[in-house]
């Protein structure tokens, strides 16, 4: 009997979703490859960052890791008026990164080696060594830190009060007395009625949240909104993802 004639079928080709990069973002002497995700919940935005994407022949199969607060702020501050304000801050919020609120203050980017948030207060407090305290806040490794409540003002305030406060400085992870990028974002040029810092109430137990930055709106945009009560699966917003250099096809650009 003659052998049956069989075609050798082509394999199904996986077509990855395309993704654009922002212009390379200068951050602490590096140039970061960053993409914008959303609008969605922070949980969903992170899930999408971890999926494979196509950017170019040089970067055909890439994934992203969530930007921490300092690199998120660098990306937002870069040409803020042209990009972040009209496309992120005005219509929604920027999901800037993880925080843990405690009875004494706010831990920023409290992440373990796998990038998962740490909520054990004993572990978090063990990092607060005297030699890590700078101008009233603690600046820890990997752009993490701690701002005691008495280092910053809550509620409505002017731009300079906010930028000089411990919360702004720990979010930006700067040892200086002013968080310059956040001062530029909160400028009266953009927000004539200043800044509202809220959702940073004292808590009895460590509380994991996402810090959100956006434009408070009534009839017009008038105030920068800095919110410390964003849930992982809460309302939709935007988040920055940093190129995972360990992924197949990733560039050698060093990330935050």
The string of pLDDT tens digits covering residues 85-99 is: 999 999 999 999 999
Q: What is the mean pLDDT of residues 226-252?
A: 81
Q: What is the mean pLDDT of residues 239-244?
A: 97
- The answer to whether residues 48 and 40 touch, using CB atoms and an 8 Å cutoff, is yes
Per this entry, what is the length of the chain?
Answer: 256
Q: CA–CA separation, 159 vs 130, rounded Å?
A: 29
Band (221; pLDDT cuts 50, 70, 90): low
Band (255; pLDDT cuts 50, 70, 90): very low
Q: Hey, what are 256's tokens?
A: 């935050």
The answer to whether residue 248 scores a pLDDT higher than 90 is: no
Which pLDDT score, from 0 to 100, does residue 220 have?
67
Q: Would residue 167 be called left, alpha or beta, if left means φ above 0 and alpha means ψ between -120 and 50 degrees?
A: alpha
The answer to whether residue 10 scores a pLDDT higher than 80 is: no
Which pLDDT score, from 0 to 100, does residue 14 have?
72
40: three-class secondary structure by DSSP: strand
Q: Hey, what are 32's tokens?
A: 């970061």
Q: Which of 74, 70, 138, 66 is nearest to 105 (CA)?
A: 138
Which pLDDT score, from 0 to 100, does residue 219 have?
59
The answer to whether residue 149 scores a pLDDT higher than 90 is: yes
Percent of the chain at pLDDT > 90 equals 80
* Phi/psi of residue 53, nearest 5 degrees: -135, 160
Q: What is the DSSP string of 72-117?
A: HHHHHHTTTTTTHIIIIITTSEEEEEEEEE-SSEEEES-B-TTSPB
Global pTM reads 0.90
State pLDDT tens for residues 188-206.
999 999 999 999 998 999 9
Q: What is the 3-state secondary structure (H, E, C) of 18-37?
A: ECCCCCCEEECCEEECEEEE
Q: CA–CA separation, 253 vs 179, rounded Å?
A: 26
- Residue with the bigger pLDDT between 255 and 146: it is 146
* Phi/psi of residue 118, nearest 5 degrees: -100, 130
């Amino acid at each position: 009997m003659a052998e049956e004639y069989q075609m050798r079928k082509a394999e199904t080709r996986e077509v990855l979703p395309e993704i654009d990069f922002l212009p390379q973002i200068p951050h602490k002497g590096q140039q970061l490859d960053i993409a914008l995700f959303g609008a969605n919940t922070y949980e969903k935005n992170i899930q999408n960052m971890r999926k494979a994407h196509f950017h170019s022949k040089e970067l055909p199969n890439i994934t992203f890791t969530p930007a921490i607060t300092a690199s998120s702020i660098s990306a937002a501050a870069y040409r803020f008026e042209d990009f972040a304000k009209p496309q992120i801050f005005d219509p929604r919020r920027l999901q800037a990164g993880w925080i843990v609120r405690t009875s004494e203050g706010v831990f920023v980017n409290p992440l373990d080696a796998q990038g998962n948030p740490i909520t054990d207060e004993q572990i978090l407090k063990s990092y607060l060594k005297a030699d890590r305290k700078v101008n009233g806040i603690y600046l820890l490794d990997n752009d993490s830190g701690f701002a005691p409540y008495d280092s910053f003002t809550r509620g409505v305030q002017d731009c300079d009060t906010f930028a000089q406060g411990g919360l702004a400085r720990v979010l930006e992870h700067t040892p200086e007395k002013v968080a310059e990028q956040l001062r530029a974002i909160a400028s009266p040029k953009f927000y004539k009625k200043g800044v509202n810092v809220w959702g940073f109430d004292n808590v009895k137990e460590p509380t994991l949240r996402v810090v959100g930055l956006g434009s408070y709106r009534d009839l017009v945009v008038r105030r920068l909104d800095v919110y410390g009560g964003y849930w992982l699966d809460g309302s939709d917003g935007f988040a920055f993802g940093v190129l995972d250099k360990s992924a197949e096809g990733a560039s050698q650009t060093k990330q935050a």
